[in-house]
Amino acid sequence: MKYSCLSVLSLFPSAFAATAEQWRGRSIYQIITDRFALPNGSDQNVCDPGQQTWCGGTWNSIRSNLDYIQNAGFTAIWISPVNQNYEGPRSPYGDPYHGYWMADISKLNDRFGTADDLKALSAELHRRNMYLMVDVVVNNVMATSITPDYSKYFFKDASFYHPYCPIQWGNTNSEQVCWMGDEKVPLPDVDTTNPTVIAQYGEWIAALVKEYSIDGLRIDEDGITNGHSRHVQMDFWPTFCSKAGVFCMGEVLGGQEVDPIAMYQGPGALDSVLNFPLYSALVSAFSIPGPQNISALVDIFEQSKTKFKDVGLLGNFLENQDLPRWHNMTVDPQSLYNAMTFTFMSDGIPVVYYGQEQYFSGNSDPFNREALWPSNYEKTDAYKLMSTLNQFRNFLVNKTDWVKQEAQVLTTSPYGLAIMKGPVISVLTNIGSPPRNNTHIAVRSPYAASTALINILTCQQWAVGSKGMIEAQYTLGGVPNILIPSDMLSGSGLCGAELKTTNDKGGKAAALNSSNHLSPIPSGLITFTLFCLSLAMRTSGYAMLS
Ligand SMILES: *[C@@H]1O[C@H](CO)[C@@H](O)[C@H](O)[C@H]1NC(C)=O
Ligand SMILES: *[C@@H]1O[C@H](CO)[C@@H](O)[C@H](O)[C@H]1NC(C)=O
Ligand SMILES: *[C@@H]1O[C@H](CO)[C@@H](O)[C@H](O)[C@H]1NC(C)=O
Ligand SMILES: *[C@@H]1O[C@H](CO)[C@@H](O)[C@H](O)[C@H]1NC(C)=O
Ligand SMILES: *[C@@H]1O[C@H](CO)[C@@H](O)[C@H](O)[C@H]1NC(C)=O
Ligand SMILES: *[C@@H]1O[C@H](CO)[C@@H](O)[C@H](O)[C@H]1NC(C)=O
């Protein structure tokens, strides 16, 4: 029997303590809690990110606006850190509206709401069968001097911190023990090798996850790899994450180098990391203007498959709270659409930073933390694309083993590539919006000649040519194409009307026929599932089905 109880249980929604396997098929919408939505009834304020102060978003206002996220097909949200932040006078770098300036982590950040509000958000997400991922900061706290009064923090004694020294970048020891930040806003470095610190962080995270039914953690800056160094020794994480009992996705900053990031994923480190190498490669390949280097993308893609423990668990993103918005680098929307399609249709968990769907265009921190409300939450073309990508991916995840099948590069060209994951072929290009008559990407697919494919973004039929060839033409501009045999789409709710219409005309009956290309669930699995479920209910105090 090749199914483990864990993998079978992952087929069922769990409202608590989600594992890596349960996260694999999810897609995540990343929120800066202060900037996503205003509370009911409050006046729409003009939120200037340059002011670096609070604009008023709360856990309740996220809860009131979950339709916007769920209607786009997301199955999880990642919110700003929830714990108490620095509360003194405004610092030279503004106020802690972002939630990353830790003070006493045993308390919640009351700017964002009460304990009941956070529980209500968690409960509402679970009612919608969505997951809650919370950002946590473990390696440092925030201060406004290099001689802070430690009694205000969770760790109340100077002995729990490394003594002050400014980081000498490039010196590994210095990077581990010295303080991030600067003399105006130093970030005192917690000594994560101290056994008391390890034990207390463990108890803290176990309690936090349990109290608020958190399903996963995003861990802030647990490593920085310019110089192969890190702020927290790697072996801190397995203990911490097992105490948490949930999926952990770490932020390990880096560029295109795969090795220094890949070493943070695995049994001796974290379940997952944010995929910085892929991000850099997508910028290289798709930004306009840019190096438009498709080989760089293919190179990182191939290296990642061998160097990461499990590319299917990495967090794929195009934007976040530190990086310039995609639209700040590239105003051509087709650049965004093609890169975004890659993050959804390749291996990994798609992570979309709020506002990407509204073409926000701020550059780095703090300008990339725009308020979402001035957009009126419009269903833009980017929002619609994202919704289709999620709907398609959710269908593949729910109904097939697509998410476990490793993506491959089928074809590369100077201005694009085709990847295939499971039965799905995505043909992507960096030529941008202007139509081109004499540009095409010819892809050698494994499909037999005259197989009927459908482009799920346009619902147009494509016929496979001789020797499996398919050809993307760009007479309407450099759009992404996502192709799947028509007969595999049944049950997805996508392109339904169009298929019926075609069928009514008598042409393409096969398109409506549900297929056997996909492995059906063996009946043995169902029996085994019931066995696992009863086992789980006996051995755990938690309701597995909610
Ligand atoms: C805000 O208003 C909406 C719509 O009127 C309602 O569904 C929601 O429950 C309200 N949220 C809160 C936190 O009161
Ligand atoms: C493209 O990327 C490859 C692989 O990273 C690199 O060797 C090559 O020099 C790059 N080409 C350009 C034109 O930047
Ligand atoms: C990039 O961001 C900066 C700062 O927010 C802004 O001044 C500039 O106009 C942006 N560029 C584009 C192309 O939107
Ligand atoms: C897939 O599962 C998710 C989460 O369980 C659910 O929200 C979604 O509606 C399902 N989608 C499809 C297309 O079945
Ligand atoms: C592309 O072809 C169409 C139809 O043949 C023609 O109308 C159009 O001008 C051509 N565009 C370019 C950019 O050559
Ligand atoms: C579906 O395909 C099978 C075999 O390919 C065929 O026997 C059956 O009649 C088809 N069903 C429909 C509804 O077209």
Average pLDDT for residues 434-449, to the nearest whole number? 95
Is residue 222 flagged as an active site residue?
no
- What's the whole-number average pLDDT of the chain? 87
Identify the pLDDT of residue 169. 80
Distance between CA atoms of 201 and 217, rounded to whole angstroms?
14
Q: Over the stretch 479-503, which tens digit does the pLDDT of each residue have?
A: 999 999 999 999 899 997 332 333 3
Considering the candidates 251, 319, 357, 487, report the single residue annotated as catalytic: 251
162 domain residue, yes or no: no
Average pLDDT for residues 227-245, to the nearest whole number? 79
Q: Does residue 295 line the site of ligand 2, with CB under 6 A?
A: yes
**DSSP alpha helix (H) spans, 228-293:** 236-244, 259-262, 276-286
Q: Of 460, 486, 512, which residue sits at a domain end?
A: 486
Q: If you take atom 14 of ligand 1, which residue's CA is the nearest one?
A: 40
Q: Which atom of ligand 5 is nearest to the CA of 435?
A: 13
538 domain residue, yes or no: no
Residue of 64, 116, 373 to mutate, ligand 1, most atoms within 8 A of C-beta:
64
Residues 329 and 296 placed together within one structural domain of the fold: yes
Identify the pLDDT of residue 231. 66
Residues 332 and 439 placed together within one structural domain of the fold: no
Identify the pLDDT of residue 382. 98
Q: In a 10 Å sphere around its CB, with 0-12 CB exposed, 13-18 middle and 19+ buried, how is residue 269 labelled?
A: buried
Range(s) of the domain holding residue 281: 27-139+191-404
Q: How far is the CA of 295 from the centre of ligand 2 (A)?
A: 6
Q: Is the pLDDT of residue 215 over 50?
A: yes
| CA 2 to centroid of chain Cα atoms | 29
DSSP conformation class of 84: -
Q: How far is the CA of 490 from the centre of ligand 6 (A)?
A: 13
Instruction: Tell me the β-bridge partners of 420.
Output: 408, 425
Place of tokens 């948490």: 244
- Give the pLDDT band (50/70/90) at residue 228: very low
Q: Of 437, 458, 486, which residue sits at a domain end?
A: 486
The residue ranking higher by pLDDT, 27 or 526, is: 27
Q: How far is the CA of 435 from the centre of ligand 5 (A)?
A: 8
Residues 338 and 205 placed together within one structural domain of the fold: yes
Preceding peptide of 148 cis, ω within 30°? no
188-192, 298-302, 326-330, 442-446: segment of lowest average pLDDT: 188-192
Residues 239 and 307 placed together within one structural domain of the fold: yes
Distance between CA atoms of 266 and 286, rounded to whole angstroms?
30
Q: Of 404, 429, 458, which residue sits at a domain end?
A: 404
Average pLDDT for residues 460-470, to the nearest whole number? 95
Q: Does residue 430 line the site of ligand 4, with CB under 6 A?
A: no
Q: Is the pLDDT of residue 156 over 90?
A: yes
**CATH number, domain with residue 100:** 3.20.20.80
SS3 of residue 78 by DSSP? strand
Q: Is the pLDDT of residue 53 over 50?
A: yes
Q: Does residue 414 line the site of ligand 2, with CB under 6 A?
A: no
Neighbouring C-beta atoms of residue 397, cutoff 10 Å: 18
- Give the pLDDT band (50/70/90) at residue 512: very low
Is residue 370 flagged as an active site residue?
no
Q: In a 10 Å sphere around its CB, with 0-12 CB exposed, 13-18 middle and 19+ buried, how is residue 540 labelled?
A: exposed
Q: Is the pLDDT of residue 365 over 60?
A: yes
Q: Over the stretch 80-98, which tens digit does the pLDDT of each residue have?
A: 999 999 999 999 999 999 9
Q: How many domains does the chain have?
A: 2
Residues 270 and 381 placed together within one structural domain of the fold: yes
Q: If you take atom 5 of ligand 1, which residue's CA is the nearest one?
A: 40
- Provide the whole-model pTM: 0.86
Q: Is the pLDDT of residue 541 over 80?
A: no
| CA 273 to centroid of chain Cα atoms | 10
- Give the pLDDT band (50/70/90) at residue 308: very high
Residues 389 and 417 placed together within one structural domain of the fold: no
The reply to whether 52 sits in an annotated binding site is yes
Q: Is the pLDDT of residue 264 over 50?
A: yes
Identify the pLDDT of residue 1. 36
Dump strand ranges (E) for 91-239. Answer: 131-136, 180-181, 186-187, 216-224
The phi, psi pair for 485, rounded to 5°, reads -55, 130
Identify the pLDDT of residue 177. 83
Residues 83 and 102 placed together within one structural domain of the fold: yes
Residues 368 and 422 placed together within one structural domain of the fold: no
Average pLDDT for residues 124-132, to the nearest whole number? 98
Contacts of 512 (CB under 8 A, 6+ apart): 487, 490, 499, 500, 503
Residues 308 and 365 placed together within one structural domain of the fold: yes
Starting from the CA of residue 40, give the closest ligand. Answer: 1
The residue ranking higher by pLDDT, 323 or 171, is: 323
Identify the pLDDT of residue 161. 94
Do 514 and 490 contact (CB within 8 A), yes or no?
yes
Q: Over the stretch 93-113, which tens digit does the pLDDT of each residue have?
A: 999 999 999 999 999 999 999
Q: Is the pLDDT of residue 456 over 50?
A: yes
Q: How far is the CA of 363 from the centre of ligand 3 (A)?
A: 6
244 domain residue, yes or no: yes
Residues 462 and 330 placed together within one structural domain of the fold: no
Identify the pLDDT of residue 45. 82
